[in-house]
């Protein structure tokens, strides 16, 4: 009789594979058996040690364990339990009376949750993905590229163009692709965006506001300024410690004179409801054909461009130095306004300063 290791051929190889698989299966069951036996024997020896102790030692250990559990409950909101912990707690719960169940941090809701998890694991079946297979990524990219490069094409046109090159895509699929990418139907793709629309309306809008600066001697000085919505160009109208309606009206006249022919482009003036903006102030602009728009009470967002420039001025200039008097403040504001209008890049102007006449270079 030949030895098992000496056999050759396909049949011998199959026998070896079956023998190894059977040996592995038996070894895994032996490991599980020894693990369960070790776990049970360990718990039995622990109970024997507890039975051998005196009542005083058991009571002291119980008090210590209860205090430790109370400390852990204050620090841990949700304990992390494994399967062995759950089995042990479930078994010990049968040894204690119902009045002592409050010592467990496992509630009936937790037990029900464990039961639902077991049911979920038992009744999980492999499910096929419903519906038709997804469209290829390259087809989706082609649809989006055709929609961007041809804003006048509709869903049917894009579907037809793709069909001409052998790609079958329905019009509804094209619509879903464009909708997910934020592209609307063909009639809307050819129109201006919200940014372009608002920028076109901002060509004739001027805003004004008053803000204060405190000097070293705690004297409050007020500044009147105007800002153009289209270019964000700032005009410092005046600086005074006692702003009045007549002073504000005179600064408006000075601004109209400084703008010259540029005042003809202004169609709207936005201001708040400060009492210093008297009727004479409005008449200066009304005579130039400008409509004065008052913001609602306590709504600084309605004059957001002016409010944002005040925040920029304070963060970049006035909060970084000490102002001595009105003369010092005038020189500081003049220097910052020259820098802001001539050198500081604006995100709304595509990183160009407000007074820049250079054409935008394309990269």
pLDDT for 334 equals 95
> For the whole prediction, is pTM greater than 0.75?
no
Does some domain include residue 240? Answer: yes
Residue 108 pLDDT > 50: yes
Q: Does 160 share its domain with 244?
A: no
159: Cα separation from own chain's centroid: 35
Please check whether residues 184 and 204 belong to one and the same domain. no
- Rounded to whole angstroms, the Cα distance separating 142 from 7 reads 62
- Poorest-confidence range of 28-42, 116-130, 219-233? 116-130
Residue 51 has pLDDT above 80, yes or no: no
* 209 found inside a domain: yes
Same domain for 175 and 213, yes or no, is no
Question: Which CATH number covers residue 335?
Answer: 3.30.420.10
Domain end point (choices 155, 172, 191): 191
Asked whether residue 54 is domain-assigned, the answer is: no
* 61 within a domain of the structure (yes/no): no
Into how many domains does the chain fold? 2
Phi-psi region of 181 (alpha: psi -120 to 50; beta: other; left: phi over 0): alpha
In sequence order, what are the residues at sequence separation of 6 or more whose Cβ sits closer than 8 angstroms to the Cβ of residue 302? 270, 295, 296
Residues 218 and 289 in one domain: yes
Mark whether 165 and 280 lie in a shared domain.
no
Q: Is 203 part of any domain? A: yes
Q: Mean pLDDT across the chain, nearest whole number?
A: 78
Q: Are residues 154 and 225 in the same domain?
A: no
Residues 168, 203 within the same domain: no
208 & 148 share domain: no
Residues 227-261: pLDDT tens digits?
998 888 999 999 999 999 999 999 999 999 988 88
Per-residue model confidence as pLDDT tens digits over 147-178: 888 877 888 888 888 888 888 888 888 888 88
Query: Does 50 fall in a domain?
Result: no
Do 208 and 306 lie in a common domain?
yes
Beta-carbon contacts of residue 6 (< 8 Å; ≥ 6 apart) = none
Note whether residue 11 is domain-resident: no
The answer on 175 and 297 residing in a single domain is no
Q: Is the per-residue pLDDT at 20 higher than 70? A: no
Please name which of 340, 348, 347 lies closest in space to residue 202, comparing C-alpha atoms: 348
221, 314: one domain: yes
Among 156, 191, 226, residue at a domain's last position: 191
**Within a domain: residue 99?**
no
Per the structure, the complete domain to which residue 324 belongs is given by 199-342
Residues 178 and 269 in one domain: no
Residue 172 and residue 154: Cα distance in Å, rounded?
11
């Amino acid at each position: 009789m030949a030895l098992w290791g000496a056999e050759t051929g396909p049949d011998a190889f199959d026998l070896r594979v079956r023998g190894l698989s059977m040996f592995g299966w038996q070894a895994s069951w032996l490991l599980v058996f020894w693990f369960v036996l070790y776990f049970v024997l360990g718990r039995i020896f622990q109970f024997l040690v507890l039975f051998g102790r005196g009542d005083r030692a058991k009571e002291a250990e119980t008090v210590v364990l209860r205090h430790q559990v109370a400390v852990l409950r204050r620090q841990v909101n949700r304990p992390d339990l494994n399967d062995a912990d759950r089995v042990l707690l479930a078994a010990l719960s049968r040894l204690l009376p119902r009045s002592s169940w409050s010592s467990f941090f496992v509630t009936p809701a937790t037990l029900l949750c464990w039961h639902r998890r077991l049911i979920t694991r038992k009744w999980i079946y492999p499910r096929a993905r419903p519906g038709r297979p997804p469209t290829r990524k390259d087809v989706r990219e082609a649809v989006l590229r055709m929609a961007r490069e041809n804003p006048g094409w509709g869903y049917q046109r894009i579907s037809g163009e793709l069909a001409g090159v052998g790609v079958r895509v329905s019009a509804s699929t094209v619509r879903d692709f464009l909708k997910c990418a934020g592209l609307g139907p063909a009639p809307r793709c050819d129109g201006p965006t919200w940014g372009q629309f608002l920028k076109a309306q901002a060509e004739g809008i001027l805003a004004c506001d008053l803000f204060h600066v405190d000097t070293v001697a705690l004297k409050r000085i007020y500044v009147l300024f105007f800002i153009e919505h289209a270019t964000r160009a700032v005009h410092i109208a005046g600086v005074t410690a006692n702003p009045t309606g007549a002073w504000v009206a005179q600064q408006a006249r000075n601004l109209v004179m400084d703008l010259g022919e540029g005042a003809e482009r202004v169609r709207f003036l936005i201001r708040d409801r400060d009492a210093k903006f008297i009727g004479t102030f409005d008449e200066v602009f009304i005579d130039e054909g400008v409509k004065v728009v008052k913001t609602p009470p306590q709504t600084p967002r309605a004059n957001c461009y002016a409010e944002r420039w005040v925040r920029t001025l304070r963060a970049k200039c006035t909060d970084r130095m000490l102002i001595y008097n009105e003369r010092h403040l005038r020189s500081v504001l003049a220097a910052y306004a020259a820098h802001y209008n001539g050198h500081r890049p604006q995100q709304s102007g595509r990183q160009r300063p407000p007074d820049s006449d250079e054409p935008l270079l394309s990269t």
